[in-house]
């Protein structure tokens, strides 16, 4: 049984896998890491392996305690992957993106695939049908766009994410919603179109915190799965041997 831990910028996600099936899933603030770990290990004493993906700051004491209890893989550029990484600067490639590409290899083998992760940032990652990872793109996520309009201007307010009723905003608030949301939707649809021009058999996966919000509005045919990164991490753990 595998324990999957994804340390993000704000929260830590925990998942327990029995082979490819998720038995437990929860997200907590970083200061509750140790408490959540104890709860999980009490509920699932069969857990013997763990993988950690961290784009945030992981408490060293918590990590030491975890390694004392389980066999642990800390994901980095040197970890064995189920694909060929052709990124020119592999050490700078985010571990979250490595996990997403691994998820594609597991769920959509032998497919040209574009993975779009709509979270704090929106990342685009492309892997060929021959399991060669070529790279992608990074742009600001929805909340980052709302915050930047507020932080970098004198008079624009900080708004909560909302789907605008009309592309033409007739108030400052509706204009911001239109610019942010329709801007993101147009960007994603445009990116998909560019890839489809070169790869007509393209499989597109949308994941991340904003996946459900965006999936219903996109013109393109996609697979939406907010837990795709966790599936990828579990696949990496399955293929890595831990002493």
CA 69 to chain CA centroid, Å, is 27
């009490």: which residue's tokens? 42
CA-CA distance, 221 to 117, in Å (whole number)? 16
CA-CA distance, 27 to 32, in Å (whole number)? 10
CA 83 to chain CA centroid, Å, is 18
13: tokens are 């996600």
Residues marked as catalytic: 96
Cβ distance 104 to 111 under 8 Å? Answer: yes
Cβ distance 50 to 71 under 8 Å? Answer: yes
């Amino acid at each position: 049984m595998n324990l999957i831990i994804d340390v993000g910028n704000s929260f830590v996600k925990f998942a327990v896998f029995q082979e490819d099936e998720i038995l437990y899933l929860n997200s907590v603030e970083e200061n509750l890491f140790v408490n959540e770990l104890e709860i999980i290990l009490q509920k699932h004493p069969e857990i013997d392996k763990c993988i950690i993906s961290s784009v945030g700051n992981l408490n060293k004491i918590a990590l030491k305690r975890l390694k004392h209890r389980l066999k642990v893989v800390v994901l980095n550029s040197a970890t064995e992957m189920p694909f060929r990484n052709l990124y020119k600067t592999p050490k700078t490639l985010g571990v979250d993106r490595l996990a997403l590409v691994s998820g594609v290899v597991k769920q959509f083998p032998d497919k040209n695939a574009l993975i779009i992760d709509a979270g704090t940032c929106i990342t685009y990652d492309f892997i060929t049908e021959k399991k060669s990872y070529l790279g992608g793109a990074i742009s600001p996520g929805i909340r980052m766009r709302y915050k930047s309009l507020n932080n970098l201007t004198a008079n624009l307010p900080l708004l909560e994410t909302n789907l605008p009723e009309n592309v033409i905003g007739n108030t400052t608030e509706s204009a911001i919603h239109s610019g942010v949301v329709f801007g993101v939707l147009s960007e994603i649809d445009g990116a998909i179109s560019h890839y489809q021009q070169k790869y007509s058999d393209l499989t597109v996966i949308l994941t991340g915190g904003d996946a459900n919000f965006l999936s219903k509005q996109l013109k393109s045919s996609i697979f939406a799965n907010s837990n795709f990164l966790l599936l990828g991490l579990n696949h990496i753990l399955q293929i890595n041997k831990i002493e």
